[in-house]
Chain A
Amino acid sequence: MSGEKGTKAESLKAYKNRLDDALGNEFLRKAMDNFAVAYRTSRENAFSGMDTAELIQTVADVKADAVIRNQELLAAFKQKAKENGIHVHLAETAEDANRIIAEIAKKTRCKSIVKSKSMTAEETHLNRWLENEGLEVTETDLGEWIVQLRKEGPSHMVMPAIHLSRYQVADLFSSVTGTEQDAEIQRLVKVARKELREKFVTADMGITGANYVIAETGTIGIATNEGNARLVSTLPRVHVALAGIDKLLPTIKEALAVNKVLPKNATGQAITSYVTWITGPSECKTVEGGKREMHLVFLDNGRSKIAKDPVFAQILQCVRCGACANVCPVYRMVGGHQLGYIYIGAIGLITTYFFHGREHAKNLVQNCTNCGACKSICAGGIDLPGLIKDVHAKIQDEEGHPLQSLLLGKVLKNRKLFHTLLRTAKLAQGPMTEKTKEGPFLRHLPMIFSPEHNFRRLPAIAEKPFRDRFEGLNKKVHAPAYRIALFSGCVQDFVYPEQLEAAMRGFQEANVAVTFPMGQSCCGLPAVSMGEKSAARDVALQNLDAFELKDVDYIVTLCASCASHLKHGAPKLLKNYAPDRAAAFADKVLSYSQFMSGVVGLDKKTGAGKAIAFHSPCHLCRGLDEREAPKDVIAKSGNTYVPTAEEETCCGFGGSFSANFPAVSNEILTQKLDDVEKSGAELLVTECPGCVMQLRGGAMKQGRDIEVAHLAEILYPQ
């Protein structure tokens, strides 16, 4: 795509430098911020009064079915297209597609080409190829034209030039027209109108993409706002449409179902200004016979192989709405050029591996906090974060695992070794520990961290882990109301045992009998997030063995990430190993707030009466779809909940993400802390020790007066 990225693999260091540049780009940051906030509202409005989940499920079903029936639909389309007079070509690879289109141009003696926007053409680097063949290619979508003139690629699948300011566009247009252009948007649009009109009129060939390819009638559907695709498919004498085979749908009915969701999800519009349905060559008065020549080039480029993959087939359910970028906290910080190769956002992190190769994917795929925002909004119902982790694991399996990740995997698999290491680390850190009112912190970062990791303070390992305290805390309960097994997770066990102690006080008060299986290990999520799938599976199995299910009503954890992983992640990992046991285990898992609010039921306490902001952990609000329970807990704790802007946006922790991309993590964190300060809250509460670590450490480092606590600590203070 863009020259700077070249075709060679980029080193992680070079990639991080690009991220730093983007983080320092004030215009980009502001543009992305405004967009992230505005998008949420317009999407909500567009779907208002509708059952969004049901509409999306329909799209997912329609697409999933079309993926299964792909070859059948392709054959049907070919047959119909022949009757309609469309020349159909099948391109095995991106190069094949480019070659086919160049040949059509040669055969039909086309010299100048106008194009409407097509991500598929970006995927094949079509323009570069055609220009190399001496053809003149002009993009006619305003945003695409702008990035074409700048010789770069789109930074968003729907809004290609979102990274640019009006001043940059004015400078560009001044140099293109040879006249000074004002940085006034309405006028700049008029400049494009004029400059491009002549191109439309004189072009020999028009190239479009296709949002829908309909087998039953041999029709293609194209959605645009500008109407450029209509001119591209009307004025020139040859029309070539380029479409991935994944765009095939059985009938117009399915296309309409997708079209009902796509524009709403993309930009919050009920529908695009134009949707054009073309069934074969239409009238063209400048050619003999009165009909233009029409070609459809189907691009495979690995798609039919993906379609057969049990895990990755869902990639093809993507309808290219771009929403997974719109809501991504990383995209928001660094922009599309840094969060995609051609395809952008969550889907880009995945497809880059398949369409453009491992070398372009391996840095990208790590740049994800696993927050799940993309998944919760995806028009195609794709498990995007899950697949991102799968691609990460795949790349590591193919290239060899980096030492650090390998070690982590090895250590996690061996619980005793892991816990011994933690205890040893505790002894080693002794003199470096500084006691503060927010608990013990490390004075300096351990040697393995570089200075860029210094954006938040790291807590020290606790004097005595929870597992060593449990016996002493556990009072016998007679005729218990509930019997639970407590799952601590590593961070609470070894770093924040006081959070679990607070919870223990409450369990006693509520007459809940607690067991703490000593054989329990890490939940496995950190291993997943580092691409160590087999280690994650091993610990999941160990946890199954550690818990005796028949003796307990629920498995309760104070860590939302553990809860979500135990409930949804682990059963997926164990699908072929212990599906029934994993399901039975998952069935009993509840987050702390779910248990206290939904099962135990709390009486209102006389608490501190503080104004409390809540940071909703990604794995709670999206992972477990739990939004109300924590607010109920806050209300019952005798404090007042105050809303903050973007309460459900990631804090930037994301496990290994914050270690791999500390600069990006820090920016996400800073935004979060800004929002909390603006809310006027006296205390920030959350339900995940990872979030506590990130938020508390960041607030301290930045010298902010924000106190951070776990829900259990405000409900049962010391």
Chain B
Amino acid sequence: MTSDIRHKKMLTIDAKNVDFYYSEFHALKNINIEVEKNKVVALIGPSGCGKSTFLRLLNRMNDLIDGTRMTGSVLIEGKDIYAPNIHVDELRKEVGMVFQKPNPFPKSIFENVAYGLRVNGIKDKTFIEERVIESIKSAALWNEVKDKLNKSAFALSGGQQQRLCIARALAISPKVLLMDEPASALDPISTSKIEELIYELKKDYTIMIVTHNMQQASRVSDKTAYFYLGEMIEYDDTIKIFTNPTELSTQNYITGRFG
């Protein structure tokens, strides 16, 4: 099942000619993006340019909104995720998501992380327990919560809650991790913890992260895509985007001249 049996050059994410509409509103215009395995891609751009919309296309979260429409194709590990034989719940198991605001369930810390396992039909207690611990450790949260796994997740700080949400997403071992401004609601210390974490996670996952923080984008990502008014203006290596962007609009945004 792991992709090493497959073709080495297989792209993890491959979006082609993607257009997206909220009813009449044309929110994404002809987006093309390719992401290789174990890379971190940052999406940047001014508010309302469609970053979240694009991210939510990758795990078909936009299906939940009435009146939306998409054209073009999105392949994840070579599979067209908008093909009719795809079941969204199976897709979302492969493509995990961390939201802007931490959104733990009103359950215990343990149950939060175990949730994804349980809904996917895993009943083996020891397996669940091992997996929960492993995930919390991967999310760099273990030392802080190991004594209170049965306490409510709401008792954690915002930064801890966000790492819990990351642990929750990791528990079902997705191939791709989508993060929509995962640190925007957090203080600087929690933010740097999340950034370190992303650096660690890169070894096992392909990550796409939306951020408004230029330093963050340049610190954590390998590649950066700049969105503006529903269009992807530029997509290149992060170093290139931040030192020598091709487009003027990109440069203006990065240097803070607008946005």
Is B truly associated with A?
no
Measuring CB to CB, which residues of chain A are less than 8 angstroms from any residue of chain B? none
